[in-house]
Structure 1
Amino acid sequence: MMEMIVQFAIVVLAIASFFAVRYLPKKLFTSRRTNHRPSNQSRRHLAQATQLLARARSTSDRNKSEALAKTALTEAETALSLFPKDPAPYILKSLALDLLGHKRSALRSLDLALASPRVRSIQGRERVEALVRRAELKLAVNRKRRVDSAVADLEEAVRVSEGGGGGGGCGGVDARAFCVLGECYEFKGMKEEARRAFQEALKMDPECGVARRGLDRLG
């Protein structure tokens, strides 16, 4: 009797294993594909927004540029509604809003992109660019009140680059970043720090007029 029970259990286990191997991976794959569908749709809208922004920046026709930027903004917002955990739609939305002249809204969108946990998805050069762009927006919105926060962003961008994540000149930070940092230090009365920042900018771009003018002002 016991032998029959054991044999029956073995048969049941074999049948269960067969169905598990045959059907479970397919079910898991289907579930994984469904869960990733919003992300794939979001990427298509992000690609459209990126192309539209590039066209908006390249045209000299102001009306056409504005129309393209508005359409890019719509695409970015659609991507955002599909996959709100992705920081990329917030960054593209910020770029579109900035192009349309809405700097405060552009800053808020970039703040959301760089907030936890989204910021963990932004690495290397992309993170450096986002930090530098946010610093520029902070200064444009209110230089006096936000200069310290802008400096913090720029110094973090330099640290990220020096950590090897940026790629390119100085690990990803370009002359523009050091020019903005120099202007911030100059505004705060930190002349030596400002001078060093402008000198770093000139190392990267010897033709950088902003850095040369900054050094001239500092004497």
Structure 2
Amino acid sequence: MFSQMVDDILLQIGLVLLVVVVFLFIHNVPKRVLANLRLRLQSKSGIQSKRHFVLGAQLLAQARSATQSTSSSSSAASLSKQALEHADKAIALDPKDAAAHILKALALDAQGFKTSALDAIEVALSPLCRKSLADDERGDALCKRAEIKMSMNRPARVDSVIEDLTLAVKLSPENVKAFCTLGECYEEKKMTEEAKKAYEEALKIQPRLAVAKEALDRLGSS
């Protein structure tokens, strides 16, 4: 008798649970719950990703300071490697965040890994990630990509570099470095007038910029 009562109670509980599950599915509650859970997880991973990005950026800044000071080159190399590790962790948590890929490119570039650095910044500028960049940030990234290409000493890349820099100065019109690098490229291609215009634009932003003044003197500014 007692056993039968237990079975009846369990059966009733089972029926109630079945009704509840059916009701939830009819009203798409599980989808909402999963969606909310996914958003919370994404938010959590995003925060962790940003934390690794900040730590990596700080380490890279320290590496650059070590390179410029009397500190040993091994210290700078170690800091750059640590920055790269944090960049990779940030990417693993949020692969669509272009900033983390740019940090990785900068860390690799600091270690002399030009090809890998170029690959990393290509990802940052890919359709997958570039939506996370503001126009001026995208312009700065294009300028960095151009800089890496130029450092690889491949003459065939000049046209590609000019293309990057031309877009960079449109997106980030206050980027002095982009204008100066663009001027250098035009000089290399013997495009004197275009080079002058690029250096003049740089001087509009920084009137005392020695590099641009010297270039204009060299080119015979009108």
1:57 is aligned, of 61, 64, 88, to 64
Structural mapping, 1:38-187, within 5 Å: 38-59=45-66, 60=69, 61=71, 62-161=73-172, 170=173, 173-187=174-188
Rate the CA distance shift 1:79–1:192 in 2: closer, same or farther, 3 A.
same
- Mapped to 1, the partners of 2:62 and 2:151 lie a distance apart of 24
TM-score, with structure 1 as normaliser: 0.79
- Tell me the equivalent position of 1:37: 44
By how many angstroms is 1:194 displaced?
0.4
- For the pair shown, the structure with the greater C-alpha radius of gyration is 2
- Mapped to 2, the partners of 1:199 and 1:143 lie a distance apart of 27
Rate the CA distance shift 1:64–1:191 in 2: closer, same or farther, 3 A.
same
CA deviations 1:116-148 (Å, max 9, x no partner) are 121122112211110111111111113411111
Q: What 5-or-longer segments of structure 1 have no aligned partner?
A: 1-11, 162-169
TM-score, with structure 2 as normaliser: 0.78
Q: How many residues align?
A: 196
Q: Percent identity?
A: 45
- Tell me the equivalent position of 2:204: 203
Counterpart AA for 1:160: L
CA contact (8 A) 1:175 1:208 kept: no
By how many angstroms is 1:34 displaced?
2.1
Q: What 5-or-longer segments of structure 2 have no aligned partner?
A: 1-18
- Mapped to 2, the partners of 1:120 and 1:140 lie a distance apart of 27
CA contact (8 A) 2:102 2:141 kept: yes
Rate the CA distance shift 1:94–1:23 in 2: closer, same or farther, 3 A.
closer
CA contact (8 A) 2:109 2:117 kept: yes
CA contact (8 A) 2:140 2:175 kept: no
Counterpart AA for 1:47: V
Rate the CA distance shift 1:113–1:31 in 2: closer, same or farther, 3 A.
closer
CA RMSD after TM alignment: 2.5
Rate the CA distance shift 1:34–1:175 in 2: closer, same or farther, 3 A.
closer
- Mapped to 2, the partners of 1:144 and 1:37 lie a distance apart of 45
- Mapped to 1, the partners of 2:165 and 2:38 lie a distance apart of 42
User: Secondary structure, in 3 states, of the residue corresponding to 1:142?
Assistant: coil
